Amino acid sequence: MASATPAAPDHTPDVVLVVDFGAQYAQLIARRVREARVYSEIVPSTMPVDEMLAKNPKAIILSGGPSSVYAEGAPSLDKAIFEAGVPVFGMCYGFQLMAVALGGTVDDNGAREYGRTALSVSKPGSTLFEGTPTEQSVWMSHGDACSAAPTGFAVTASTDVVPVAAFEDDARKLYGVQYHPEVLHSTHGQQILEHFLYRGAGIAPDWTTTNVVEEQVAAIRAQVGTKRAICGLSGGVDSSVAAAIVQKAIGSQLTCVYVDHGLQRKGESEQVEKDFVAATGVQLKVVDAEERFLTALAGVSDPETKRKIIGREFIRVFEQAQAELVAEAGAAGEDVAFLVQGTLYPDIVESGGGTGTANIKSHHNVGGLPDDIEFELIEPLRQLFKDEVRMVGQELGLPEEIVQRQPFPGPGLGIRIVGEVTKERLDLLREADFIAREELTAAGLDREIWQCPVVLLADVRSVGVQGDGRTYGHPIVLRPVSSEDAMTADWSRLPYDVLAKISTRITNEVADVNRVVLDVTSKPPGTIEWE
C-alpha cells in the first residue's frame, strides 16, 4: 500500500506527546490538551525516546496505566526522557514511573485510593496549583503510592494516606500528580493541566480550527501536486468535511464519488445529491452498486467479515470510478492517484492502530482496506475527534444540517443487521430507522443525543400478538447514546413517551417486527454499534 501520510505542511503546530502506558484515559488526556488549544498526539510507551524527541515535542505527558511500576514486564521508560530538557508531566502510573526513575520511593504500603479523594495542597502558589483551592476533590485509581519524592522535587500535595500526591521541579520542568486530572471528577483538573502547558511548558494556546484547515490545505497541495483525487462521499459529517478541506486545497482536481451500495438509510442518497453538492459545488459521480454489494455479502453473518467485504468492495468501486475518470479525461488528463477518506482518530484507535492497542473492530476505511489498494490515501481528519471535525466543518462554512448530523457508520445498515444482509432485511430496517429518526426530530432531541443506531436482530424471532393472532417476528433494538467523541459513551435517558411512540409506530408500521427493545449499555463495556 502506498503511504497514507501526507507531506508535511509549511508550519507544524507545537505538539504535546501523550505517552500511553495502557491507560483507559490516554485518549481523554489528548482531548483535554486539545481543549486547551494545544495540539497533542498519542504515542505508545514502547516508542524509543529518541524517536519521541525527534518529533520535537514542546512537552510530554506520561499517562496512567494498570500496572505496578515494580511488576515484572510492567511498561518502563528510558530515564533520558527526563534529561532532555523537555517539560514532562506524569499522571498516576506516569507519576510513579517518574518518581522511581529519578530516585524517589514508590511502594505498596496499603495506601489504596479509588474514586473521589480529598486532596490537600501544601504549596498553593506552585506552578500547577496556583489559583486553586487548598482542599479539592480529585479522582484516584492506584494501589502503590509515592512515599518519598526524588531529590530536587518539592512536594505540593498529599492525601490522608499518601504523603506525596503531587510534586514539582521547576528547574528541570518536571511535574507529577498521583491522580487523574483529565477526568471531570477531578474538580480543578483542567486548570492543573493548563497550568502545566502554559506555565510549566510555556506553550501558547494557539492551536485552532483555522490552523487545522490551513495546515491540511498546505499539506494536501504539496501531496497532490497536479494530479487528481477522488473522495468516497457518504453524506456523513466525516466524509463531507474531508471532501470540503480537499476541495479547498485542490479545487476541480477533486471528484467526489458517492457509492449507492444499498446499505443507506431512507432518503440518504437524495440528501447527498441535494444538500452537499448545493453547499459546496463539488463534482459528484454517483455509482449504483447495490447489486454488487448485496451479492458480495450474501450468506455472510460474521461482523468482521462483513466490514472487510464492504471495505474491499468500496475500494473496487473507487478503482472502477478512477478508470472511468481517466478515460473521460483522455490521454492528456492527469492521473487520478489519490483517495480521500474521512478517517477519524477513534477509527484508528479502535482498529488497533497508533498506540499498540487491541483491535476492537475493523473500520471499513482502516482495518477493512484490501492490501492491494492502488491509491495513495489522503486522510485530513485522521488525528481529529468528532467534535473537532464539526468545528472544522463550521470553519469551512458547511451548513448546520451537514455539520451537526448524527454519526452514521461507513458500512451503513450492513452492520446494523445482526445476521445475513439481504434486501428484504435492509428495507425492513430502513423503515424502522426512519421512524425512530422522525420521532426524535419531532421531539427536538437530535442535539440531545450523539446518535441512535437502530439494530435489526435478523436471526432472532420472538412470539407476539398482533391483530388477535400469533406472530413470530423480529426484534428491533434502539441504541440512543450520548458522547463527546465516541471513545466513551453512555445510553441516553430518552423520555418514556418518545420511546413509547417510536415502539408503537415501528410495531404497527413495519411488517415482520413485533418487539422493540432499548439498549441501556454504556461504552465500555459495549461499543456504540452492535457489530
pLDDT in tens, 426-482: 999 999 999 999 999 999 998 889 899 999 999 888 877 676 566 778 999 999 998
Rounded to a whole number of angstroms, the CA Rg of the chain reads 26
Per the structure block, which three cell numbers stand in for 182? 483529565
Catalytic one of 168, 182, 388, 439? 182
Catalytic, 182? Answer yes
Look up residue 260 and give its three cell numbers: 449507492
Q: How many CA atoms lie within 13 A of 44 on its CB side?
A: 12
pTM above 0.75, yes or no: no
Q: What is the pLDDT of residue 469?
A: 66
Nearest to 466 by CA among 396, 400, 514: 514
Query: CB–CB of 182/32 below 8 Å?
Result: yes
Whole-number pLDDT of residue 384: 87
Q: CA separation (Å) from 427 to 111, 264, 265, 266, 528?
A: 58, 10, 9, 9, 22
The pLDDT of residue 140 is: 79
Question: Across the strands, what pairs with 120?
Answer: 135, 158
Could you list the pLDDT tens digit for every one of the 531 residues in the chain?
233 333 333 445 689 999 998 876 788 898 899 999 999 988 999 999 999 999 999 999 999 887 888 888 888 889 999 999 999 999 988 998 999 999 988 887 666 666 788 889 999 999 999 999 999 988 877 667 888 899 999 999 998 888 898 999 999 999 999 888 988 788 899 999 999 999 999 999 988 888 889 989 999 999 999 998 888 887 778 888 999 999 999 998 999 888 889 999 888 777 777 777 777 778 888 889 999 999 999 999 999 999 999 989 988 887 888 788 777 765 445 678 888 988 887 777 655 544 434 343 444 444 445 566 677 889 999 888 888 899 999 998 888 878 888 878 878 899 999 999 999 999 999 999 999 999 999 999 988 898 999 999 998 888 776 765 667 789 999 999 988 766 678 899 999 999 999 999 999 999 899 999 999 998 878 888 888
Instruction: Give the list of residues 6+ apart from residue 105 with CB closer than 8 angstroms, or none.
Output: 99, 146, 147, 148
The pLDDT value recorded for residue 114 is: 67
180 is a catalytic site residue: yes
| Marked catalytic residue, from 113, 146, 180, 350 | 180
Which pLDDT does position 359 carry in this prediction?
40
Q: Which residues contact 332 (CB under 8 A, 6 or more apart)?
A: none
> Which of 92, 146, 231, 256 is an active site residue?
92
| Contact (Cβ atoms closer than 8 angstroms) between residue 389 and residue 341 | no
Rounded Cα distance between 127 and 169, Å, is 9
> What are the residue ranges of helices labelled H in 355-489?
386-395, 400-403, 423-442
Cell numbers found for residue 113: 485510593
Phi, psi of 40 (to 5 degrees): -135, 155
> Is 92 marked active-site?
yes
Residues 6 or more apart whose CB falls under 8 angstroms from that of 461 comprise: 472, 473, 474
